[in-house]
C-alpha cells in the first residue's frame, strides 16, 4: 500500500516525458520543413531504432537546427527511417509512417504523399 503513490507518480512522470517528447518532435519537424521551404537546402530527419532522432540541414553543418533528440525511456521505434523535406517546397521526399511504441500505446506519424503534411495518431495496444 505504501508503494502505490510512488508507482502512480512514476507512471504519470513517464507519460509527461512522452508527451513532451512528441511536442518537441513535432516542433522540430515543423522547423525543419519551414527552413527547407524557405532555403535551397534539403532538411534530413533520421529516426534510429537505437533511440535517437537526428535533424540535419544538408550543406550546412553548423546550422542551428542540426541537433539530436533522444527517445524517452520505455519508448521505442521498430526500424531505422530517414526522409527529407525538399528544398523550396517543404514536401516530404517519400511517403512513410514513423512508429513509436510504448507498453500500452503505439504512436504514428503518417506523412501524406506529395506534401509535407502528416497526421499524428495514438493507438491502444491490444
pTM value is 0.84
Residue 112, domain extent: 4-124
pLDDT in tens, 30-83: 999 999 989 888 999 999 999 999 999 998 889 999 999 999 988 999 999 998
End-to-end CA distance of the chain: 29
- Split into its structural domains, the chain has a count of 1
**DSSP per-residue letters across 82-105:** EEEEPTTT--BSS--EEEEE-SSE
CATH number, domain of 56, equals 3.55.40.10
Amino acid at each position: 500500500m505504501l508503494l502505490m503513490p510512488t508507482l502512480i507518480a512514476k507512471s504519470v512522470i513517464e507519460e509527461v516525458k512522452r508527451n513532451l517528447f512528441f511536442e518537441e518532435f513535432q516542433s522540430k519537424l515543423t522547423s525543419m520543413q519551414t527552413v527547407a521551404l524557405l532555403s535551397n537546402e534539403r532538411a534530413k530527419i533520421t529516426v534510429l531504432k537505437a533511440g535517437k532522432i537526428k535533424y540535419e540541414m544538408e550543406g550546412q553543418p553548423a546550422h542551428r537546427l542540426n541537433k539530436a533528440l533522444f527517445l524517452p525511456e520505455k519508448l521505442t521505434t521498430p526500424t531505422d527511417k530517414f526522409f527529407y523535406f525538399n528544398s523550396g517546397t517543404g514536401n516530404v521526399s517519400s511517403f512513410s509512417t514513423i512508429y513509436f511504441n510504448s507498453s500500452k500505446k503505439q504512436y504514428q506519424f503518417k506523412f501524406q504523399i506529395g506534401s509535407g503534411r502528416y497526421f499524428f495518431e495514438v493507438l491502444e495496444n491490444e
